[in-house]
Amino acid sequence: MIRNSLWLMWLLAWSASAQDTLSIDFAKRQRAVIYGSTAAYTVSMVGLNALWYSQYDRQSFRFFDDSREWKQMDKIGHFYAAYQVTAIGAATWRWAGFDEAKAVRTAALVSFGILSSIEILDGFSAGYGASGSDWVANASGAGLYWLQSAVWKEQRVYPKFSFHRTALAPQRPSLLGNGLLEEIIKDYNGQTQWLSVDMDKFIPGWPKWLNIAPGYGAHDMLFAEDGANKANGLTPYRQVYLGIDFDLTAFRSKNKFWNTLIFIGNMVRLPAPALELSRGNVKGHWVYF
């Protein structure tokens, strides 16, 4: 489930940022990365078991096809999480002294392995079941980072996330979240997934701080499947966006703390104008998040 992946991603980001005060000796840094990542992973697995798996019985491993649920918002969320875990891992392994190719390769494989282990837990839980489409999304997210590093030696296209609260979550708080923090992770109606494109890398003279970002969302969903939503009087639909985005990396400095904030902040699309195409209509938003 994507909520599990996002929680794990933020734990790993904390683990990576916490290592900046350690010795600059690369051997020590590599040990610190291994110990810190292992600790974060262990804490996350224990927490996931307590929060999501303990309420369900164990079963023999099985697959469950959820590829048609939630208008595929869950799949795009897995793609986003896998990419960001790879980005965090690559930055951490660079800090630990790996060359660029080795840092990216290690980060991508570890990202896929970590998120795949969550699918294994799902497979043994009577409440979920392993998802083959989640595995594909995990591989695609990690692969996007790896591919761009191999082809361009940098990241020119990267996923971002935005969220706004909806009136749907209070109708099913157990599923869509009870309170803002839970809703950010659980309410797919309020989530939008973006692909931010560094236009200055393709068009000479384009402002470095200004990106173009297509986006995707879905709305009017209280249940995972369209049939259940329609049976309850809802009309689930997809939303396609095209908006501007701000590349925060254009404002990097020599201050490590500031650059860490930029690294984390650049995972989110900040409020900005966007066009929305949904239900056959085009709508403009002066500010959309």
* Type of residue at 116: S
Q: Check residue 173 and give its pLDDT.
A: 94
Strand order of the sheet with strand 191-197? 157-163, 191-197, 210-219, 237-246, 272-278, 281-288
Name the H helices within the chain.
2-17, 26-48, 73-95, 100-123, 132-152, 173-176, 180-186, 226-231, 256-265
User: What is the tens place of the pLDDT at every residue in 122-181?
Assistant: 888 887 889 999 999 999 999 999 999 999 999 999 999 999 999 999 999 988 999 998
Residue with tokens 């900040």: 270
Q: Both tokens of residue 171?
A: 């109708």
Longest distance between any two alpha carbons in the chain, whole Å: 62
* Type of residue at 91: A
Dist. CA 271–CA 253, nearest whole Å: 23
Q: Which of helix, strand or coil describes residue 271?
A: coil
User: What is the tens place of the pLDDT at every residue in 212-252?
Assistant: 999 999 999 999 999 999 999 999 999 999 999 999 999 99
Residue with tokens 């960001």: 84
Calculate the average pLDDT of the chain: 89
What are the C-alpha distances in Å from 278 to residues 72, 237, 275? 16, 7, 10
Percent of the chain with pLDDT over 70: 91
Q: Check residue 48 and give its pLDDT.
A: 72
> In this predicted model, which residue has the larger pLDDT, 130 or 191?
191
State the number of CA atoms in the 13 A half-sphere of 226 facing the CB.
9
Q: Check residue 51 and give its pLDDT.
A: 63
Q: Check residue 35 and give its pLDDT.
A: 86
Sign of CA pseudo-dihedral 256, 262, 265, 266: negative
The torsion of the CA quartet 90, 95, 97, 98, rounded to 10 degrees, works out to 0
User: What is the tens place of the pLDDT at every residue in 65-80?
Assistant: 999 999 999 999 999 9
Per-residue pLDDT averaged across 171-195, rounded? 94
Dist. CA 257–CA 203, nearest whole Å: 31
Q: What is the pTM of this model?
A: 0.89
**C-beta separation of 243 from 215 below 8 A:** yes
**185 has pLDDT over 60:** yes
